[in-house]
Amino acid sequence: MKKLTFNTSIEVYSDVSELNETDASLLLAAKEAVEKAYAPYSKFKVGAAVLLENGKTILGSNQENAAYPLCLCAERVALFSAATQFPNIAVKAIAISAQSHNKQLSIPVPPCGSCRQAIYESEYRGKSPVRLIIQGEIGEIYCLDTIKDLLPLTFNADFL
């Protein structure tokens, strides 16, 4: 028997002012996107901002539906929009922020499992790691250099 061990490395910042300029402005863009969410059912608004290799920033917000399973997460709305507008440009980073109707979110809201897989597909497709910048409404900010830190043992096209 042997054991596989995975290391997850997360930079923790106490405030936006501690971030570098690129991360800070991407996080601000994600916060703008929160305001555009359509979340009348969960009242949980999520915003995502994708930074592309060509310098463009593409926003996404969660889009809900009375037929609940149709709801789309902010991260995938942003990634798929970016991939449609710029199909051959790699994704460099994604920032994510959220607001809840129930409470002030003071810890970072990490992407759901499906979005982790979608972010990983962007890494695979662009052949370059995607940096993550994650915050709740307030509080600490988590930064990671690759989605692999949140999704070890990734499934990808090499298996097909």
Per CB under 6 A, residues contacting ligand THU are 39, 42, 44, 46, 62, 64, 71, 73-75, 111-112, 115
| Cβ-based nearer residue to ligand THU, 24 or 115 | 115
Cβ atoms within 10 A of the Cβ of 60, count?
A: 27
Q: How far is the CB of 132 from ligand THU (least distance, A)?
A: 11
| Cβ-based nearer residue to ligand THU, 19 or 48 | 48
The closest of 112, 124, 131 to 155, measured between CA atoms, is: 124
Q: Judging by DSSP bridges, how do beta strands 11-13 and 44-52 pair with one another?
A: unpaired
Question: Pick the catalytic residue: 64, 75, 121, 123?
Answer: 75
Q: How far is CA 157 from the centre of its chain?
A: 21
CA distance 100 to 81: 24
CA distance 128 to 137: 29
Look-up of token digits 């991407």: 26
Q: How far is the CB of 5 from ligand THU (least distance, A)?
A: 26
Q: How far is the CB of 2 from ligand THU (least distance, A)?
A: 33
Catalytic annotation present for 32: no
SS3 content of the chain, % helix, strand, coil (to 5): 30, 25, 45
| Cβ-based nearer residue to ligand THU, 54 or 113 | 113
Q: How far is the CB of 68 from ligand THU (least distance, A)?
A: 9
| Cβ-based nearer residue to ligand THU, 47 or 129 | 47
Provide the annotated active-site residues.
75
